[in-house]
Amino acid sequence: MSKIGRKPIDCSGVTVEINGNSLNIKGKKGSGTHELPSELKAQMADKKLKITCDQLTRKNKMLWGLHRALIANMVKGMGEGFKQEVNITGLGFKAAVSGKNITFSLGFSHKIPFALPEDVSVSTDKTGQLLTVEGADRESVGLVCSQIRALRPSEPYKGTGIKVAGEVIIRKAGKTKAA
C-alpha cells in the first residue's frame, strides 16, 4: 500500500466538493479544482478527505501517493497559503516592490525589472534585502523564488547574491599569497 496515499487529509479550513473524480476546493486564500485519475476515488468523512485506490498495481500506488500530496498542498494553500523568504546579500544589492512589479539593483549597470504573476504577492523589509513571497499555490511560489534567485545566484567566494532562506552556500577560500 502507498504510505502517503492512505493518510487522510484534514480539510478543516476549506470546503471540498466531490463531483465524481473532480474535487472543487474553496478556502479563504482562493479556490481551485483537481481531477483525479479514474483509478482513484475520493471520500469525505468528518472534515477528513480520504483517497482510495481499487487495484494496487505499481502504477496505481504511485498515482495514489502523488495525487494525495497534490491535493494536500492545494488544501493547505487555499486554507493558510505558502510563504518563502529570499535573502539578498551584497553592498547596494536591494529590491523595491511597486504593485505587481519588483525592481532589483544587483550590482549591474542597470536595474532589473521583474513582473509577478497574479496569484503571488511579495513584500520586502525596510532594507530591501529580505523578500517574503506568498501565495496559495506552492508551485508558483517556488517558481517565483527560483526565478528571482536566477537573477544573481550567490557566489562561493564572498557570498554575495540572492539565495532562498535555508539554502546553504559552501564558501571557498580565495587566492593565497605565494611564500
If one looks up domain 82-164 in CATH, what number appears? 3.90.930.12
User: What pLDDT does residue 13 have?
Assistant: 83
Taking only Cα atoms into account, the Rg of the chain, rounded to an integer number of angstroms, comes to: 21
Q: Give CA–CA dist 49/76, Å, rounded.
A: 13
**Per-domain residue ranges for the chain?**
9-79, 82-164
Helix (H, G, I), strand (E, B) or coil at 86: strand
Fold matches, 9-79 and 82-164: yes
**30-55 confidence digits (pLDDT tens):** 888 999 998 889 998 888 999 988 88
The CATH superfamily of 9-79 is Ribosomal protein L6 (3.90.930.12)
**72-97 confidence digits (pLDDT tens):** 999 999 988 999 999 999 999 999 99
| Partners of 172 in beta bridges | none
User: What pLDDT does residue 179 have?
Assistant: 62
User: What pLDDT does residue 2 have?
Assistant: 59
User: What pLDDT does residue 175 have?
Assistant: 84
pTM given for the model = 0.84
Least Cα distance to 86 among 74, 72, 100, 97 occurs for 97
Neighbour-count burial for 61-86, b at 16+ CB within 10 Å, e otherwise: bebbbebbeebbbbbbbbbebbebeb
Please give the grid coordinates belonging to residue 127.
Answer: 532594507
**107-164 confidence digits (pLDDT tens):** 999 999 999 999 899 999 999 999 999 999 999 999 999 999 999 999 999 989 999 9
